[in-house]
Chain A
Amino acid sequence: MKRWLVITLIILAAVILVGLGIYLRGRSIAPKNPAAGGGLPEGTTRPGGTGGNGGASGGATSTITVARSAAVAYAVLPDGTVETIGPDGTVVVASTTASVTSPLRIQNLLGASFSHDGAKVLARAGDPLDPRWSVFDLKKASWQPLALNARVAAWSPNDYRVAYFTKKLSGSSLAVMDLKAQSPKPQVIMSFAADDLLVDWVSPSRLMVRERESALVGGMLAMVDIANKTIQVLRTDAKGAEMVWGAEEGLLFEAAPAGPGGSLSLMNLKGETTQTFTFLTLPSKCSFYPTASSSQASPGEDLLCAIPRDAKGFGLSQLPDDYRKGSLFTADDLFRIDLVDGTFTPVGAAQNGDFDVISPSIRNGILYFINRLDGKLYKAPVAL
C-alpha cells in the first residue's frame, strides 16, 4: 500500500513538472496584452478635427508652422537647430538666428537620412536599382561620394557606421562601414544568395535583416549580431512587415493573414513579442520617445504615433501596400502612448488641418513631422 502511494506521488510530481514546463513555455512567448489602453480608450478626445482641443490629459493644442517648405529628411540638434534635406538635394541648416543653404546639391535624390547627431547626411541618388551614394558633412559643408555599391543603407543609432547590402555577382553581402575612419573600409558580416534584402539597426550591435514587404507575401525577419557574425531567423512568413526601432524595442506592423488591415506589436531585442495593440497605424508614422524619467541606466521609452482619424477606412485598406503605392493618404491625430500603463495622451497638432504624418519626433518640447500631403516639414510647440 505504501509502495503504491509512493508511486502515485511520483507520477503526480512528474505530471506537475510537465504542466509547469508547458506553462512556462507558453508564458515566455505569449505577448502581453494591456488590459486597458491598448486601443484608443473610449472617450479619448482627438485634438483638432471634431474633437476640439486637448484630450484626456495634457497635450495642449498649439499653432503649427512650416519649418521647411520641402523636406525628405530632417534632424533637430539639442540647441534647436533644424537641418533638412529637400527633394532637390539641397541641405538647409536653420538655427534660431540664421538659415544657411549648402551651395552644392545632389541631383536626382531618391532618399536621405541624417546620422544620430545630425552631423552627416547619407544620400541616395540616380537609378533606384543602382544608386549613387554620397555623404554630406555639415561642418565642412561638403559632399563626398561613397563607394557602397548598394541599394539600401542605414545609419547606426549611435555613431557613424553604416550598414548596407552590397551587390555581388551572385547575391549580396551584408557589410558595415565606419565613416569616421580616414579611409572607410567595408567589414563584411555575411553573404546571402538573396539580393533584395533590407537592413535596419536594432541596436549598436545588432541588425535586422528582412525582405521587402507586401500584404500579399510572407517574408523573412532575422536578427544579425555584428560582432559575432551570427544570424537568428525570427520569422519566414511575416506578411507586409514594417518596423521602427527604439533603444530597447521595435514596433512591428504585420498585414492581416487574409484580407485587409493588419496588427501592431512590440518586439524586444531578442525578437520576442512583448505587447500587442488594438489601434492601427504604420511604423513609418511613429517613433520612440524617451519618458520623463528615463536615464542612461534606465532608458524607458514611450511611443509617439500618428493614428489615422478614419480608423475604419484605414483598416479596410491593403496595408502597407496601398499607403506605399500612393493610393491611400490619411489625416492623422498624434498620440503619445505610455508603454507601461497603456495611456494615450493627445499631442497637439493643427486645429483645422489635415496632416498625413510621417517621421514624427519631439525635440526640446517641439513636435516635428513631415506631411506626406505636401512634403513640408512642420513644427509645433507641445506640452506633455
Chain B
Amino acid sequence: MTSRNYLFKYLLLTVLFVGAFGATPWASRAQNSGPVVLLTWRAETYVPQEYEGRVLPISGSKITLAVDVADKGALASLSTQKVYWYVNEHLAAAGTGLTRTSISVSSRPGTDVLDVRVALPDYGDDGTGAAVQIPVVAPETVISIPSPAKRVGARSFEVRGLPYFFNVTDTGELAFSWQVAGTTPPAYNDPASITVTLPDNAPARQIPISLSIANPSVDFENASQEISVDFKP
C-alpha cells in the first residue's frame, strides 16, 4: 500500500472520529460529566415564625457550612476525604471527613460578602471543590399592613412590626420604638403589634408610621422603617 493510501485512510478515520464525537449531543451533558459539589449554608439569626425563606447572616452571627458531593447519581461518602474550608481565602477549618463546620461573621462593619470555598483535593483523580458568596446583610424592620397600597378605610387598624435577621432568639430580647404621625402610641401589650385608632371625624390623609427595632445587647444592631398609610374612610 502506498503512503498516499495510508494518509488517505488516516485522514478518513480522523475526520469520521471527530464528526461522530461532535454529533453526539449527549456526550457533554453535565449530569454524566463528573461530581457536583453542593456547598450549602445556614445562618442563625432571628426571623418571624411564619417566614419560610432563607435566613441571612449579619455581622456577628454564626453560619453553619456543609458540603455534599453528588457523584454518579449518589451522595458520595466523604468520611475519609480531607476537607479544607476557606473564608475570604483564609483557612477556616480542615479535617478528614469535615463535612460541616461553623464560622462567625466578623463584627467589623463593612463586611458585605463572605467568599467561602471548600476543597477536597484528594477526591477522585483531580480533587474537587466549590465556592459560594454569602451576603452579609443588615438587620431589617418590616412594618406590615395587609393592604396592597397600604390603604385603610377603618378608623382602627392593626400594624405589625416584624424583625428580620437580628442576633437574638426571641423578640423579647429586642426593643421596639413606634411613632404614629410623630407621636408615640399608647402603651401596648405586644410591642410587635400596635392598633392605630383615629378619631371619628378624622379626614382622609396620609399617616406616617415608623418603627425602630434594636438589640440592646449589641452596639449598632438596629433597623428602622417608615411607611405612609393612606387613610380613606
Contacts and interface: CB of A to CB of B under 8 A. Distances in A.
A229 B144 CA distance: 43
B16 A14 contact: yes
Contact of A325 (B38, B149, B162): B162
B157 interface: no
A233 interface: yes
Interface stretch (A3-11, A60-68, A137-145, A153-161): A3-11
Contact of A214 (B4, B8, B54): B54
A232 B35 CA distance: 11
Given A3-B8, A7-B11, A10-B16, A326 B162 contact: yes
Contacts of A196: 40, 42, 55
Contact of A18 (B22, B26, B132, B162): B22
B56 A216 contact: yes
Interface string A196-212: 11000000000000011
B75 A231 contact: yes
B54 to A, nearest CB: 4
B144 A320 contact: no
A153 to B, nearest CB: 13
Interface residues on A, range: 35 or more
Contacts of B53: 212-214, 320-321, 324-325
Contact of B132 (A3, A128, A218, A320): A218
Contacts of A311: none
Contacts of A231: 70, 73-75
Given A194-B66, A231-B70, A310 B162 contact: no
B198 to A, nearest CB: 20
A222 interface: yes
A325 B142 contact: yes
A329 B23 contact: no
B147 interface: yes
B18 interface: yes
- List 8 A-B pairs, minimum CB-CB distance, nearest first: A18-B22, A25-B25, A14-B19, A214-B54, A17-B19, A193-B99, A21-B23, A230-B73
A194 B56 contact: no
Nearest to A21: B23
Given A216-B56, A216-B135, A230-B74, A171 B99 contact: yes
B110 interface: no
Contacts of A331: 148-149
B36 to A, nearest CB: 4
Candidate in A22, A192, A320, A331 with the most chain B CB atoms within 10 angstroms: A192
A21 B25 contact: yes
Nearest to A375: B146
Nearest to A131: B49
A310 B67 CA distance: 41
Nearest to B17: A14
Contacts of A170: 99-100
Nearest to B42: A196
Contacts of B149: 331
A372 B66 contact: no
A170 B160 CA distance: 37
Given A3-B8, A18-B19, A20-B23, A193 B66 contact: yes
